Structure 1
Amino acid sequence: MLSGFKSFIMKGNVVDLAVAVVIGAAFSAVVNSIVVGLLTPLIGRLFNAKGMEDMQWEGFMYGSVISAIISFLLVAGAIYFVIVVPMNHMIERRNRRLGIDQDVKEEAAEDPQIALLTEIRDSLRQESSRR
């Protein structure tokens, strides 16, 4: 039972999701201050408004929508460039160091027959290198 839990926790999707949630929460204060303190007044000045909240057209508050979109894009960009890109580079370096071919590994995970054939191929290579 514990090995199943360990396998579940160590899957890449669970770890990626946990990192995204934690980092997203941590960056939220920074991103909100950038949007409220810098971008909102700048965009408001472009449209001759005091801020994003004052930007409206016949009662439609499009300023808050623009602010939310900018905030989302900043959070997504920060997570991608600060977490995802370095993690992908670390995984690639580790796989190169261990001699793991990612394409073969993904194909083997999809089809058990391919995984078996890959094991047979690898064992035949080892036997031929011993001779």
Structure 2
Amino acid sequence: MLSGFKKFLMRGNVVELATAVVVGAAFTAIVNSFVGDVLTPLIAAIGGQPDFSALTLRLGTGEIRYGSFLNAVVSFLMVAAVIYFLVVRPYEAFSARFAQKPEITHRACPECLSEIPRAAVRCSQCTAQVIPVH
């Protein structure tokens, strides 16, 4: 009974998922600190107010506290921007640098424009003679 559970835990995808959760939690702390300790004070220095939670709208006897919603939207946009510019963009650039170019194995026949192998000397569709490309 426990051996099956041990096998389940030792499968690669479970270990990878657990590792990703731990790293994600640590990264969340870093991003939240960057947003709260660096970006929010910068917004306060530029705009004068980093916290919008006091903003409300009175409708009759009711009160709509839209300031907290604005705080959540601004925080989300800042976290999304940090993740995009500090994680996604560098990763895409790194991946593009080391990506293998796909090998071109076919080309278009100059007569009928059907797809033929690069080394073909005759088109299989229109039987035109073509110059092989190596």
Structure showing greater relative contact order (alpha-carbon pairs closer than 8 Å, 6 or more residues apart): 1
> TM-score, normalized by length of structure 1?
0.49
Greater per-residue strand proportion: 2
Indicate the structure (1 or 2) with the bigger Cα radius of gyration.
2
> TM-score, normalized by length of structure 2?
0.48
